[in-house]
Structure 1
Amino acid sequence: MTEHAAEAGWWYDGGVGTVTVARDATARFLRGSAGTDPDVDTDTALLVVSELVTNAVKHAPGPLRLELARSDATLVISVLDGSTAGPVLRPPDPERVGGHGMEIVTALCRYVVTEPAPCGKRVTAVLVAPELAMRAPAQRG
């Protein structure tokens, strides 16, 4: 990770309860790194973490790493897992049950990018404070 005001990372085994523990760690991180700058929305951050970690647990069995980095009014959320297959962004379909995770993540984040990692891939999503999000157009990568 690059230089940020606050950074943290955790390894998880990818088993039962991983999503809950990752959300709890994220909530603690956000409380502990809050500053005077506009803050990203905690509920939005927790939803993005839930979706990215759920994808890793479902589609890349084994250990995964959640990394968070905060600077100014930006939160960078990265999930590393052991699969080389990238997440699938499906077209919107209100009739489909499930499979909306990446649709949700890309709708909420400034940008989302998947990159190869030494033992799989890294999916990174960037959230900005609502006040700043209205000032610049979103980018998808």
Structure 2
Amino acid sequence: MEPADSDGHGELSSRFPTASVTLNGDDTCIAEARDLAADFLARAGTDHGVAVSARAMDLTRLVVSELVTNAGRHAPGPLRMELRILDDAVEVTVRDTARVQLLARPVDPRRVGQHGLEIVMAVAQAFQVRLEPNGKAVTARIALADEVRGSGSPLGAP
């Protein structure tokens, strides 16, 4: 994973670490993405003094897994995963080539599978899907401390 600034280029910021990586979009990239996210958070802790709880590490790996899985299944071509540390959270963005809005399905305890978006929204502080000219960007914000519980509110919302 290459260090990047907020524009996806340049050097790793000393205050707010960011990173981005292009993934091939096949099934093998899911584990790679999880490992890269865990490494990013570990380096944020050791190199930048960012406090990352074990719960935040686990939830970030889960969110990355769900977002990358979804993008790989429903969008042709490579994906881009971006990670950014904010004051008290990590923001995970997965960009893909499918210009389709994502919608959470209604709760159905009889449905087998297809709960990834529900899971992400349940554990994230904030969640957003932005359509872009060449696809979409799906962003989830995960609290770095244990005491904050996810609400799935839109990014930018209190």
Q: TM-score range by the shorter chain?
A: 0.7 to 0.9
Confirm whether residue 94 of structure 1 aligns to residue 105 of structure 2: no
Kindly provide the CA deviation profile for residues 78-124 of structure 1, in whole angstroms up to 9, marking residues without a partner as x.
00000011223012222111110000000000111011223100001
Confirm whether residue 73 of structure 1 aligns to residue 88 of structure 2: yes
Which residues in structure 2 correspond to 1:1-141 (within 5 Å)? 1=6, 5-34=16-45, 35-37=49-51, 39=53, 41-131=56-146, 133=148, 138=151, 140-141=153-154
| Residue identity (%) | 37
- Aligned CA RMSD, in angstroms, stands at 2.0
Q: Does the 8 Å CA contact 1:80/1:117 hold for their aligned counterparts?
A: no
What is the TM-score normalised by the length of structure 2?
A: 0.79
Unaligned segments of structure 1, at least 5 residues: none
Moved over 6 A (4+): none
Tell me the CA shift for residue 139 of structure 1: 5.5
Q: Which amino acid aligns with 2:27?
A: V
Which stretch shows the higher mean deviation, 33-42 or 85-94?
A: 33-42
Q: Does the 8 Å CA contact 1:37/1:72 hold for their aligned counterparts?
A: no
Distance 1:17 1:66 in 2: 15
Q: 1:44 to 1:131 in 2, by over 3 A?
A: closer
Distance 1:79 1:36 in 2: 22
Q: Which amino acid aligns with 1:32?
A: R
What is the TM-score normalised by the length of structure 1?
A: 0.88
Distance 1:73 1:37 in 2: 9
Q: Does the 8 Å CA contact 1:38/1:73 hold for their aligned counterparts?
A: no
Tell me the CA shift for residue 138 of structure 1: 3.5
Q: Which amino acid aligns with 2:85?
A: R
Distance 1:79 1:118 in 2: 15
Give the 3-state SS of the residue equivalent to 1:107 in structure 2: helix
